Amino acid sequence: MRKDTSKAPYELTQFENLKNDPFGYIVLNYYSKKNLEKQREYAQNAIKQPNELSRGYYRCSTTAHRLFQVTVMEYLKNIKKEKQKNRWISLELSNVVFGLNISDGQKTRELFKKAVNEVADLHVIIKDDEHEYHRLNLFEEVKYNWDWGTLKFKLSEMFSNFLLEPHKMGFTIFSLEQSKKIQSFYARRYFEIAMSFYGFKGECIKLSPWAIENGVEKKNSWFFAYSVEEIRALFRIAPDEYQDVRNLRKKLVELPIQELNEKIPSMRFNVEKIYEKKKLQGFIFWVSELTENKIEHKKDENQAERERINEINKEQEELAAYKNKYPEEFKKVLEEIKAQPQLPGIPKFDISDDFEAVSRLKEAGLTI
Residues 297-344 pLDDT 10s? 666 677 777 776 777 777 777 887 787 777 778 888 888 887 776 544
CA distances from 242 to 195, 236, 237, 249, 252 (A): 27, 12, 8, 9, 9
CA distances from 268 to 174, 280, 324 (A): 15, 23, 8
Per-residue confidence (pLDDT) for residue 16, from 0 to 100: 45
H helices present in 122-184, as ranges: 157-164, 176-181
Query: Which residue ranges make up each domain of the chain?
Result: 10-32+191-289, 49-167, 303-363
Alpha carbon distance 319, 291 (integer Å): 8
Band of residue 346 on the pLDDT scale cut at 50, 70, 90: very low
Beta-ladder partners of 276: 279
pLDDT at 73 over 60: yes
- Above pLDDT 70, what percent of the chain? 71
Q: Give me the CATH code for the 10-32+191-289 domain, please.
A: 1.10.10.10
Per-residue confidence (pLDDT) for residue 341, from 0 to 100: 65
Angle between helices 62-82 and 157-164 (to 10 degrees): 60
Degrees (nearest 5) of the Cα angle 271, 277, 282? 30
pLDDT at 18 over 60: no
- Among 176-190, 193-207, 216-230, 341-355, the minimum mean pLDDT is found in 341-355
- Among 24-38, 238-252, 289-303, the minimum mean pLDDT is found in 24-38
Residues 240-282 pLDDT 10s:
898 898 999 999 999 999 999 888 877 889 999 999 888 899 9
pLDDT at 77 over 70: yes
Instruction: For 49-167, give the CATH class.
Output: mainly alpha
Band of residue 345 on the pLDDT scale cut at 50, 70, 90: very low
DSSP 84: S
CB of 310 closer than 8 Å to CB of 301? no
CB neighbours of residue 113 within 10 Å: 12
